[in-house]
Amino acid sequence: MSDALAKDQPIVRLSHISKTYQQGKVQVHAVNDVSLDITQGDFAALCGPSGSGKTSLLNLIGGLDVPDAGSVWIDNVNLATLSHAKLAEVRKNRIGFVFQAYNLIPVMTAYENAAFVLDLQDIDEAEKYQRVMQVLKDVGLEGLEQRRPDEMSGGQQQRVAIARAIVTRPAIVLADEPTANVDSETAKSLLNMMAALNEQQGITFLFSTHDQHVMDKAKRIIQVHDGKIADDERK
């Protein structure tokens, strides 16, 4: 799988994907015949009210769930054609995840949390050290490498989560409500930092959000309603 795509080749391509969940006796059509491309350098937000389908879409793109119909392509590879092991490789190497609840390992330092996926990739110690120290500097955590999550603020913990997501140099970072558990000033700071990573390093971000701060900062707004794309606008 190539690290570099042709300039006009989308990183993510969704082709007529649908996903239905059973909640008790009720079927919920979380995603309904969605087709969508995400291209290199996008700083895009999936927006919509709770239950609109935006998180379900993000989970399908990230290979955390499987569509009932249609196909999901990452780096020009159809995820449906991959074994469980190959799909895990794509998630590990080509997709960075940032979760609302941070999902840091409590007994690990900021450095160790950021290095966790590199350990899974068997990156040698010298390169790992260089990459982790640089990415922690990039997200504003220089000097805090040895702090554990319980010694950090919510905003600092989310910066560690972002560092962990980008240190592998993924094709795309998927961020599910990344500002939900921080105050508005911290949210603005996190968004400014991610926007700088997008501008300066070309990192592609796709957010799932209903936070106006994220919508204001995004360069592309994809409105999701009742499992469908209602609007897709570039600023």
Task: Note the pLDDT tens digit of each residue in 162-215.
Answer: 999 999 999 999 999 988 888 888 889 889 999 999 999 999 999 999 889 999
Cα dist. 219→38, 39, 136, 208, 234 in Å? 12, 12, 25, 14, 6
Q: CATH fold of 40-55+83-234, please?
A: Rossmann fold (3.40.50)
Residue-range domain boundaries for the chain:
40-55+83-234
Q: What is the pLDDT of residues 55-73, one digit of tens each?
A: 999 999 999 999 999 999 9
pLDDT of residue 181: 84
Can you tell me the mean pLDDT for 13-25? 94
| pLDDT category of residue 4 using cuts at 50, 70 and 90 | very low
What tens digit of pLDDT does each residue of 105-131 get? Answer: 999 999 999 999 998 888 899 999 999
Tell me the pTM: 0.90
What pLDDT band is residue 1 in, cutting at 50, 70 and 90? very low
